[in-house]
Structure 1
Amino acid sequence: MGLTPVFSLLFLSCLHGVSSFTSMFTFGDSYIDTGNFVIMAANPAIPVWQNKPPYGMTFFGRPTGRISDGRVIVDFIAEQFGFPLLPASPQNSSDASEGVNFAVGGATAIDVGFYERSKLVQFQLMNNSLNVQLGWFEELKPSICNTTEECRDRFSKALFFVGELGVNDYNLVWNAGKTEDEVKPYVPKIVKKIAMAVERLIKEGAIYLVVPGNPPNGCSPTMLALRSSLNTENYDHIGCLIDINRVARRHNSLLRVAIGVLRVKYPHTTIIFADFYHPIISILPNPNRFGVTGPDTLRACCGGGGKYNWNASSVCGMPGVTACKDPSTFINWDGVHYTEATYRYIAKGWLYGPFADPPILNAIHH
């Protein structure tokens, strides 16, 4: 089938943009982790269910450390720009020339010590916060570039992802039994940490940065199962928890403001707000339009039963816990994370619009 002239021009302009990135560096949590959590959690005494089948069943045919049935958002972005799928950082210290993924499942925006000291958690957290990931980036710099000048030049041609971050912070507070009024004061603190990380990378020479917001966590099977309520007023028309989603929207609006401030301060940069909320919210009420034909859009594909197909004692990856036949007909994979099909849809919306301000491919040409 021949390309129409207009489409040919679009295609060529996209190709033109593609050649302008030489590498990709990503920071965040399990939504974009490509194996760091599994490496860090490698303890023979504690099974890591995320590294057991059926994880990875769709694309790789085996678990790869990605917490999904297949590829995650940054895999699709990497493919768009002709990069190899970014390896996890500890595996990749030998060659960081085309980029590294520092994101880790469970990562927080605020340092974990804060949550341990505040007694919000009764157990020790993995030390993988945003600050820690930036530290790994600093440590790896000598294997990427030698002089300040060379580093600035290299990073000016790289695409940086800072996030998604914040979901794990909020979950720690929600799961400590806090109310919406008690969770809300954390929002500016969390957003400030993300903005500080963006600024730190700009000072290293980063010019192109993608900063994703929070998804509608009140629609996640895990939160729906953990905070199930008999009070119908706690749920919206889709069946999601109103208070949790209200905090996510507050986070996203404050993050947009923070990005606006940074754009004014650093006019030579392109800071992209990537909307993680509306892609999910757009699928939920109209699942059939997106090929989502699972029995209930709020159910996980892989889980141990119950209304939302999630319960803490039989999570995806445990012996005897099965996945749906076709994950592409589900939005959610394992109660927390999304299916490859959902991630592909989000990545496309970030690259071409409408779910990014500005879309990643537009930003290159400005």
Structure 2
Amino acid sequence: MEGKGFFLGGLLLFSIAAISTAQNHPKSSPKLFVFGDSYVDTGNWPRNVRGPWKEPFGITFPGKPNGRASDGRVLTDHIASFLGIESPTPYQLRNTSKNTQQGLNFALGGSGVFPAWQNDSLTVQIDQFEQLLKENVYSRQFDLEYSSSVALVCSGPNDYSFYSAAKKGSKDGLPAFTEGLVNQLAADLHRINRLGVKKVVVATLPVIGCLPINIIPPNSYQNCDEESNKNARIHNQLLLKAVEKLNTDDGKKSTFVVLDLYNAMVSAIDQFRKGAANTEYKNPLQPCCSKNVEFICSAEGVCPNPKSSFFFDLAHPSENGWNAIFSFLQSSLNKDLRV
């Protein structure tokens, strides 16, 4: 994770005129606004910095580096496809793209709920969106308030890697840090909703202890770090309670939705293990990339067939891994992500 190197990595206003507009227009296509880290970043990472704009990232899709921390598609691409839209344009590319009316992606690899390895915290990303609203980049009428708008939020792992590496963030230890982190995340979710987004989807922490970077000794890649997984489950339990409270306070049951990334990843890894006998990649925890420079994958160390791996590098699933993970998320989305 980012504490040891490179890791994972909304919203509207309306007027009374929107009511009559909504009555005279058919339901518009969904808009997806994305916030978080490199699990959902599709191009905000700086091009002049080592990382997903450099080889070997993107070698499966689209065949060259495109700002995604994987050999191919990431979680954002799957959610967008589920909604029937293209992946939203990265915020940093908004001025060079004609496709911003289906949403924007503010996520930045290395970011956290709190300022972590990059300067842009989740709060800063939401600030960027709010500023665009003030500039009327998006209509204050039908296009936002009455459309099928969704926010995808995926953030938190970098906060824990930063805490672990720097031993900062709480004088009272990890439990207090976790509580403070979840409270801030809940406040950010509430703010996104208050800006107008119809549905806010927040991902749980992934199965952090099974990320290759956290497996000791790394040469075997056999057993997950159970202490890290236990901490992730505690965080996720607190997040579930926080989301339940947000929905209760809001008076609706489905405004805020939890995307269970943790258990989807556990199930996908187990599935990969069971089918490993028929693949060239026998161990799902062994990353495709065997050579890393400052924890970032080097082109010289990529396995012959990334499509057979589960993890592309030390912290990020491959396209194959994300396909498997999303297959376990889709059933809950069919139930919860009605916009």
TM-score (norm 1): 0.75
Q: Which residue of 2 aligns with 1:110?
A: 114
Shift of 1:209: 1.4
Q: Is the 8 A contact 2:264 2:329 kept in 1?
A: no
C-alpha spacing 1:324/1:182, structure 2 compared with 1 (3 Å) = same
Q: Which residue of 2 aligns with 1:282?
A: 267
Structure 2 stretches of 5 or more lacking a match?
Answer: 1-26
Residue 198, structure 1, aligned to residue 185, structure 2:
no
State the distance in 2 between where 1:300 and 1:162 align. Answer: 25
Instruction: Report the alpha carbon displacement of residue 266 of structure 1 after superposing the two structures with TM.
Output: 1.1
Alignment RMSD? 2.7
Match of 2:119 in 1: 127
Residue 52 (structure 1) aligned with residue 45 (structure 2): no
Pair 1:295 & 2:288 matched: no
Is this contact kept in 2: 1:162–1:197, CA < 8 A? no
User: Do the aligned partners of 2:29 and 2:102 also contact (CA within 8 Å) in 1?
Assistant: no
1:16 match = none
Which blocks of at least 5 consecutive residues in structure 1 are unaligned? 1-18, 113-124, 230-234, 305-310, 354-358
Partner of 1:316: 297
Deviation digits for residues 6-43 of structure 1 (CA, Å, limit 9, x no counterpart): xxxxxxxxxxxxx765210010100010011134xx3x
What's the counterpart of residue 223 of structure 1? 214
Q: Deviations over 1:138-157 (max 9, x none)?
A: 1222343344x557515x52
Match of 2:163 among 154, 170, 173: 173
Secondary structure at the residue paired with 2:69?
A: coil
**Does residue 145 in structure 1 map to residue 149 in structure 2?**
no
Specify the alignment match of 1:273 in structure 2: 258
Query: Residue 144 of structure 1 contacts residue 151 of structure 1 at CA under 8 Å; is this kept in 2?
Result: no
**1:1-366 paired onto structure 2 within 5 Å:** 21-39=29-47, 42=48, 47-93=49-95, 95=98, 96-112=100-116, 125-141=117-133, 142-147=135-140, 149-150=141-142, 153-154=145-146, 157-163=148-154, 165-176=155-166, 182-224=173-215, 228=217, 239-268=223-252, 269-289=254-274, 293-304=280-291, 312-313=293-294, 315-317=296-298, 321-351=300-330, 353=331, 359-365=332-338
- Percent sequence identity over matched residues? 29
Shift of 1:273: 0.7
The SS at the match of 1:107 is coil
Distance 1:74 1:183 in 2: 30
- SS of aligned partner of 1:344: helix
Cα contact 2:273–2:284 (8 A) shared by 1: no
**Which SS does the other structure have where 2:104 is aligned?**
strand
CA contact (8 A) 1:52 1:317 kept: no
Aligned residues: 303
Contact 1:55 1:317 in 2 (8 A): no
1:162-210 CA-to-partner distances (Å, cap 9, x unmatched) read 11x11000011222379xx933321111111111111001111122111
Higher relative contact order (CA 8 A, sep 6+): 2
Please give the alpha-carbon distance, in whole angstroms, between the structure 2 residues aligned to 1:280 and 1:190.
Answer: 22
Q: State whether residues 300 and 332 of structure 1, in contact with CA within 8 Å, keep that contact through their aligned partners in structure 2.
A: yes
**1:79 and 1:25, CA in 2 relative to 1: closer, same or farther beyond 3 A?**
same
Q: Is contact 1:88–1:101 with CA below 8 Å preserved after alignment? A: yes
Q: CA deviation at 1:80?
A: 2.5
Amino acid at match of 1:87: T
* TM-score where L is the length of structure 2: 0.81
- The Cα shift of 1:327 comes to 1.9
**What is the rounded CA distance, in whole Å, between the counterparts of 2:338 and 2:54 in structure 1?**
42
TM-superposed CA distance for 1:239, in Å, is 0.7
- Go from structure 1 to structure 2 and tell me whether the alpha carbon gap of 1:280 and 1:78 turns closer, same or farther (over 3 Å shift): same
1:300 to partner: Cα distance: 0.8
